[in-house]
Amino acid sequence: MFGVGGLSGGSKGGPHYECEVNEDSINMKHFSKVSNERWANGYRMAHVFTQDRNTVVVWERID
């Protein structure tokens, strides 16, 4: 999954890696909620980096 402009909670049993791109700054309250949803769905945050003022988050399925 490649998302631009926001973060989603991921789906249980989804692909092994998912990459999301958030344009400009991240709303930390929303990011915390999404991180907890992803953990509940069997994902961990594998990498976070910025590129051209965008935040790129790579999630890894761990279940």
Digit-coded pLDDT (tens) for 5-60: 566 778 888 888 888 888 877 888 988 998 999 999 999 999 999 888 888 999 99
What are the boundaries of each domain within the chain? 2-61
Residue 2 has pLDDT above 60, yes or no: no
pTM over 0.85: no
Which band of pLDDT confidence, cut at 50, 70 and 90, is reported for residue 63? confident
Q: 50 to each of 6, 12, 25, 63, how far by Cα in Å?
A: 14, 26, 10, 27
Contact between residue 24 and residue 6 where contact means Cβ atoms under 8 Å apart: no
pLDDT in tens, 25-36: 788 898 899 899
For the chain, the maximum distance between any two Cα atoms, rounded to a whole number of angstroms, is 32
